[in-house]
Structure 1
Amino acid sequence: MVPGRLTDRLGSAEPRHALLAVPIALIVLVTVIDVLAPPDVHLGPFLVAAPAVTASFAGPRTTACVGALAVLAQAVVAVLRTSLVDLNHTFQLITLILMSAFVTSFAARRERHERELTRLRTVATAAQEVVLKPLPRRIGPLRIASAYLAADSEAQIGGDLYAAARTEHGTRFVIGDVRGKGLEAVGDAALLLGAFRGAAHRQADLPSLVAFLEGTVASDLDDPAAPSVGADERGEGFITAVVLDVPDDEPILRLINCGHPPPLLLRQGRVASLDTRHPAPPLGLAAFARAEFAVTAFAFEPGDIALLYTDGVVEARDRDGTFYPLAERAAGMAGQGPGALLTRLRQDLIRHAGGHLGDDAAMVAVERLPGRTEGAGRAGPRTA
C-alpha cells in the first residue's frame, strides 16, 4: 500500500561510503599530477571539486574532512614545488579553504532539509495508517486484498479511499475518490471513512447508510467555517463512491454506485461489469439533484471475486496514450486468489504506465469462499 522508498535507499550509509572514494581518488590524482607537472602548470584549483562533490551526498562533517584533506594536499604540493609562502600557492590555499567552508555549509543545509523530509514522511505514513487502515485478509466468509498506489512516489497519502465494516448479517465496503488533491482531499477522505466506520453497522439498509454518508459530505461542504466559494464553485467538491453490502447467508451482493467506476465481477475466467440501472450522483451533489439511492443486486457465488477500483487505475495511460484495459487484464489473471490477483494487476499497471501514474490508484478484491464461515452473522461490528 505504501510506495517504495527509493530516496531512503539512495540515502543509506552503504552507498554513501562507496561514493566517498570518488573525491578521495580525485585529491590523490590531482596531487600526483600537480607535483609531476611542469613549473608553469598548476592543477591546484581542481582540488575544490573534491569537497564540492562530497557535499552532494555526505554530511557537513564528512565534507569538512574532505575539504581539510584537499587543503593538506595543496600544502604538500606547495612545499614540494616551491614553498607555502609562494604567492600563487598562498592564494590557492586561501581559495580552497573558503570554498571548502562554503560547500560544508551547503552540506549542513542539505542534511537539515533531508531530516525535515524524513520527519514529514514519518508523519505521512502515520496519517496513512490512521486514515486508510489496511483491510483484514479475512472477514466472515470473505477473503480480501487491497492495494494503494500513489501517483507521487514522495506522497504517502491522497484522496482515494476504501474501508470495510463487519455487520451482524454481513460485510459492507466502500471505495471512493475525492475530487482534488493534497491535504484537503485527505481531510475529505478521512471524513467519509470516519462516517462509514461509525454508521455501517448501525444503518439497517444500504440506502440509509449512503444517505447518511451523503449528509455527512454535504454538511461539510456547507460548513460556515470552511473557506467561502462562489456559487459556481459550490458543486466542485464531491466524492465518487461505491458502497457494497455482502450478506453472509445469500450468494449475492448489493451495491449503490455514486458516480464511481463500476466494480468488476470475475467468475470462471469471465469478467462482467457491475453496472447499476439507476446510478446516483457523487456524494456531496445528491442534494442538488434530489437523487434516490437505488440498490442493485448481483449474484455473488462462492469462488467469485468482486474487484473494486478507483479511476486512477483505468485512466492510467501508456506512452501511446492508451488507457489501462483493466477488464481485459483481469480476465487473463482469473483463477487466482485476491492477493495474487492484485499483486499481478499492480505490477502490470505500473508497467503499462511506464513506472509513473498520473493519479492515485486503489484496488480492493473480495472473494466469497465456499461454505458459510462458522460464527458468521453472530460476529459483532468490526471495521477497517
Structure 2
Amino acid sequence: MRRLEPLLRWLPFVVMAIVAVVDLLEGPTLGYLPLLALGPAFATLRCGVRGALLVGLISVVLCVVLAAYDGVLGHRQNNMLLISLAGVTLASALASAVRQQREQELADVRTVAEVAQKVLLRPVPRWAGPIRVAVSYISAAAEARIGGDLYEVVTSPQGVRILVGDVQGKGLEAVETAAAVVGAFREAAYDEPDLAGVITRLQTSLDRVLSGERFVTAVLAELRDTRISLVSCGHPPPLAIGADGDVHFVDLADPAPPLGMRDLSDVKPQARDVSFAPGDQMLFYTDGVIEARDREGRFYPLQERAFLLKERGAEQALEDLRADLVRHVGGPVADDAAMLLIRHR
C-alpha cells in the first residue's frame, strides 16, 4: 500500500488532465465534462480535506474553461454539472475528514498495542548465563502488532529458565491470558526449585483468569552447564541443532496437558534432560511456524530450513529464518508465530 501512495496522491490530477486533453482534442462537446467529477472522487483515497477542496476547485475551474471552449457555458446542463462538481467536492472533503480521523484512531490503537506488547514481551537478555538468546515475533493481527504467543527468559538461582507458549485464540482475551502466564512465570521461575513447581504456579494463576475451554500450550526449559531440562505442556517440541550438524526435534515423550486443562488429565509434567554442549543450538517456536502453509497448502518445513541458523549471528540467523517463513507463506501469516533461539557459547 505504501508503494501506491504517490500514485494515489497524483491520481485525481492525472484523471482531470486526461479528461481536459481528450475534451480539447475532440472539439466542442459536453460529453467528457462530467468525467471531471472523477478528480474529487479519487481525492478521497489519500488527500486530506484541503487537498480534496483543492482538487474540487480545480475541477470546477476546468469545467468553466472547457465549457467556454465548447460554447456551452451558462447552459442549463452545464450549470447542473457545476453544481454536481461542487456537491462531489463537498462529499469528498467530508469523506477525507472521516478517513483522517479513522487513520488517527488506528495509529493511536497501534501505539497502545505496541506499548502493551513491549510490557508483556519485554526484550529478553541477549546473554543469559552461558547462552546467547535471540527472539522473533510475527503477529497475525498485523494492524495491531500484538497477539497471544509468549516467551520469557529468566536467570534464577537454579539456572537459566525459558518459557515459550501459545494462548488458544486471538485478540484482547488472548493477550490478557498471555500477560497472566508471563507474569506468573517471572516470579515462579526465580522462586521454585524445579520446573514442576513452576508449572504448578502457572496453573494456579491461570485458574483465576481462564474461562470456558481456553488453554495455553507451553514448553519450559532449564539450563544448567551442559544439560538442559525440557517439559512440554501440549506444545510442539523444540528443534535441536547440534554443533556436529545433527538436526532433530527433541523427543518429549508423554507431554503434560496444556496449561488450564489439568482437570481433564492426571498426567504429571515429566522433565526430559538432554545434552546442550558448547556450539549447540535450540529453537523454541509456536505452532504458527510449523503450521504456516504456502499457497499450495504445504506446511513450512522447519527442519529442512534449519541450515539458516548454523553460520550467522543469532539475530541475523533468526531474521533469515523469519524472512524465509514469510516467503513460504507468500503473504500475511494466518497465526501468530514466535521463535526463540538459544546458542551455547
More displaced stretch, 193-202 vs 326-335: 326-335
Provide closer, same or farther for how the CA distance between residues 305 and 98 of structure 1 changes in structure 2, counting only shifts above 3 A: same
Provide closer, same or farther for how the CA distance between residues 25 and 306 of structure 1 changes in structure 2, counting only shifts above 3 A: closer
- Structure 2 unaligned regions, length at least 5: none
Letter in 1 for 2:93: T
Letter in 1 for 2:277: E
State the distance in 1 between where 2:26 and 2:252 align: 82
Q: Structure 1 residue 283 and structure 2 residue 259: aligned? A: yes
Alignment of 1:187-226 (within 5 A): 187-221=176-210
2:215 is aligned, of 224, 231, 238, to: 238
**Structure 2 counterpart of 1:28:** 17
Provide closer, same or farther for how the CA distance between residues 45 and 297 of structure 1 changes in structure 2, counting only shifts above 3 A: same
Using structure 2 for the length normalisation, give the TM-score. Answer: 0.93
User: Matched residues, percent identical?
Assistant: 40
Alignment of 1:155-174 (within 5 A): 155-174=144-163
Report if aligned partners of 1:211, 1:293 keep a CA contact under 8 Å in 2: no
Letter in 2 for 1:43: Y
Report if aligned partners of 1:337, 1:367 keep a CA contact under 8 Å in 2: no
**Structure 2 counterpart of 1:123:** 112
RMSD, aligned CA:
2.0
**Structure 2 counterpart of 1:263:** 238
**Structure 1 counterpart of 2:42:** 53
1:42 is aligned, of 16, 23, 31, to: 31
More displaced stretch, 149-158 vs 74-83: 74-83
State the distance in 1 between where 2:29 and 2:156 align: 87
1:325 is aligned, of 288, 301, 311, to: 301
More displaced stretch, 279-288 vs 77-86: 77-86
Shift of 1:83: 6.3
**Structure 2 counterpart of 1:338:** 314
Report if aligned partners of 1:160, 1:361 keep a CA contact under 8 Å in 2: yes
Shift of 1:260: 0.4
Q: Spell out, residue by residue over 1:179-237, the C-alpha distance to the aligned partner (whole angstroms, 9 max, x if none).
A: 1111111110011001011221111111111111111112323xxxx6xxxxxxx4x21
Q: Structure 1 residue 306 and structure 2 residue 295: aligned? A: no
State the distance in 2 between where 1:156 and 1:215 align: 29
Q: Classify the secondary structure of the residue corresponding to 1:85.
A: coil
Shift of 1:20: 3.9
More displaced stretch, 97-106 vs 269-278: 269-278
State the distance in 2 between where 1:95 and 1:118 align: 34
**Structure 2 counterpart of 1:375:** none
State the distance in 2 between where 1:212 and 1:354 align: 40
**Structure 1 counterpart of 2:131:** 142
4+ residue segments displaced more than 6 Å: none
Shift of 1:331: 4.4
Q: Structure 1 residue 178 and structure 2 residue 153: aligned? A: no
Shift of 1:330: 0.8
Using structure 1 for the length normalisation, give the TM-score. Answer: 0.84
State the distance in 1 between where 2:102 and 2:128 align: 43
Provide closer, same or farther for how the CA distance between residues 325 and 34 of structure 1 changes in structure 2, counting only shifts above 3 A: closer
